[in-house]
Amino acid sequence: MIIHMVSEHASPLAPLGGADAGGQNVHVAALADALADRGHDVRVFTRRDDAVAPPRVWVRPGVVVEHVPAGPARTVPKDELLPHMPEFGRWLRRRWERDPPDVVHAHFWMSGLAALDAARPLGLPVAQTFHALGVLKRRHQPEADTSPAERAHLEPRVAREAALILATSTAETADLRDFGVARGDVRVVPCGVDVARFTPDGPARSRDGLDRIVSIGRLVPRKGVDTVIEALAHLPGAELLIAGGPAAEALDDDPEARRLRDLAARLGIDDRVRFLGRVPHDDAPALMRSADIVVSVPWYEPFGIVPLEAMACGTAVVASAVGGHLDTVRDGRTGLHVPPREPAVLAAKLRVLLDDRRRREALARRGAERAREHYAWSRVAERTEAAYAELAASRAARPAYALAQKG
């Protein structure tokens, strides 16, 4: 099958850690790789953001990245890319007119806009993965939403016009129904985890005699790191390692790092809170293996890869009962759920696990099994392939003009 992915701002070639380089980049790169392993020909179309970037890069047999000239050939924040999507779409249409794929898979709402504009006149089926819906941020953090105002009406339009939506969590399907998307047009296909890298076996970061709690993620208020710090105040004998944000030497210039450090100092626990700064993805497994518990308690989370990676490493997990965590972490079986922004409840759950090694190890063992069985990229690629096959069959059964009229 010839599969064309559109990922307008998140290139699988980009180094992680930039403002707009994170989970979507990893997802697109890993999914393309896993689909190529299954014998498919995958091309990823991303915006050219560097004047010296070649038109195409052969990543490996079966995976090619093509740079689309749309807008200036420099880095542009993703929330400023909307004006360049018509040009992106026109380029895709010309590309697909001469060399059409079997399936188009758009990642993020602006990719969906460009892909639909290009594919609709050609009768090409478009699968859509949003990765994060704007309605979530507007609901939980309206003051921090920097998306263009047009997202509020364009994102639902993309959802309704896509031939099939691959939602990353069950929780996402409720918002999609509110957009007017029919239940039969949605398949839940989660993000995956590299079970060869994130594994219980392997080196672990050194530690001293304290119980160790680890938090990994971007240093932004919605990630709830302050909740973990407040919980630590109730857990004498435990330390908290916080990985995320800029490099360690730049933490003094980061407003959120300063806020969190001040909180720890006010609570009198700054000697038990260590800020590591950005930890390379390759070093994350050793950090997770060194922990007694990995904690992830954001206010909201479209999917949430950190608990899944920790589970794959064989480490006990406590996660907020939101978004994708409700799918990945089975409360009481592969980890524990807590409500967000409730430090006292979090402290109580952590205390239970820190005091009960056998229970902690049982959760960790079952978590590792669940990660390998349901979330390995090979499994995610298999489920994605099945969704693509549905689209390809639908296209074969319907005339092009009918597909072009959807939405």
Domains of the chain: 2-192+377-404 (3.40.50.2000), 211-375 (3.40.50.2000)
Residue 22's pLDDT is 61
Residue 206 has pLDDT above 60, yes or no: yes
Residue 146's pLDDT is 87
pLDDT tens per residue, range 244-292 = 989 999 999 999 999 999 999 999 999 999 999 999 889 999 999 999 9
What average pLDDT does the chain have? Answer: 93
Residue 400 has pLDDT above 70, yes or no: no
Work out the average pLDDT over 330-349: 98
Residue of 219, 236, 299 whose CA lies nearest to 272: 236
Question: Looking up tokens 């994350």, which residue turns up?
Answer: 284
Residue 319 has pLDDT above 80, yes or no: yes
Residue 23's pLDDT is 76
Contact 235, 347 (CB under 8 A): yes
Work out the average pLDDT over 293-313: 95
What confidence category does residue 394 fall into, taking pLDDT thresholds of 50, 70 and 90?
confident
Residue 207 has pLDDT above 80, yes or no: yes
User: Which two structure tokens, joined as six digits, stand for 407?
Assistant: 């939405």
CB within 8 Å of 5: residues ≥ 6 apart: 28, 31, 32, 42, 43, 44, 45, 104, 105, 106, 107
Residue 5's pLDDT is 98
Residue 392's pLDDT is 85
The Cα 360–Cα 133 span in angstroms is 34
Which residue type, as a one-letter code, is found at position 309? Answer: E
Work out the average pLDDT over 231-240: 97
Terminal CA-to-CA distance of the chain, rounded, Å?
A: 26
Burial of 149 (0-12, 13-18, 19+ CB in 10 A): exposed
What pTM was estimated for this model as a whole?
Answer: 0.91
The Cα 93–Cα 240 span in angstroms is 51
The Cα 57–Cα 64 span in angstroms is 6
Residue 18's pLDDT is 45
The Cα 326–Cα 315 span in angstroms is 18
Residue 23 sits at the vertex; the CA angle it makes with 18 and 26, to the nearest 5 degrees, is: 95
Residue 111 has pLDDT above 50, yes or no: yes
What confidence category does residue 397 fall into, taking pLDDT thresholds of 50, 70 and 90?
low
Residue 145's pLDDT is 82
Give the DSSP H or E segment for 103.
strand 103-107
pLDDT tens per residue, range 144-183 = 788 999 999 999 999 999 999 999 999 999 999 999 999 9
Which residue type, as a one-letter code, is found at position 15? Answer: P
The Cα 25–Cα 47 span in angstroms is 13
Contact 305, 284 (CB under 8 A): no
How far does CA 315 lie from the centroid of its chain? 20
What confidence category does residue 21 fall into, taking pLDDT thresholds of 50, 70 and 90?
very low
The Cα 349–Cα 337 span in angstroms is 9
Q: What percent of the chain is modeled with pLDDT above 70?
A: 95
Q: Which residues pair with residue 213 across a beta bridge? A: 240, 293
Contact 192, 346 (CB under 8 A): no
Residue 17's pLDDT is 46
Residue of 297, 234, 240, 233 whose CA lies nearest to 269: 233
Report the SS3 class of residue 241: strand
User: Which two structure tokens, joined as six digits, stand for 157?
Assistant: 């339009």
Contact 263, 287 (CB under 8 A): no
Q: How is residue 322 annotated by DSSP?
A: S
Residue 13's pLDDT is 82
User: Which two structure tokens, joined as six digits, stand for 259?
Assistant: 């806020």
Residue 64's pLDDT is 97
Q: How is residue 209 annotated by DSSP?
A: S
Residue of 4, 115, 109, 124 whose CA lies nearest to 66: 4
Residue 398's pLDDT is 55
Which residue type, as a one-letter code, is found at position 144? Answer: A
Q: Which residues pair with residue 119 across a beta bridge? A: none
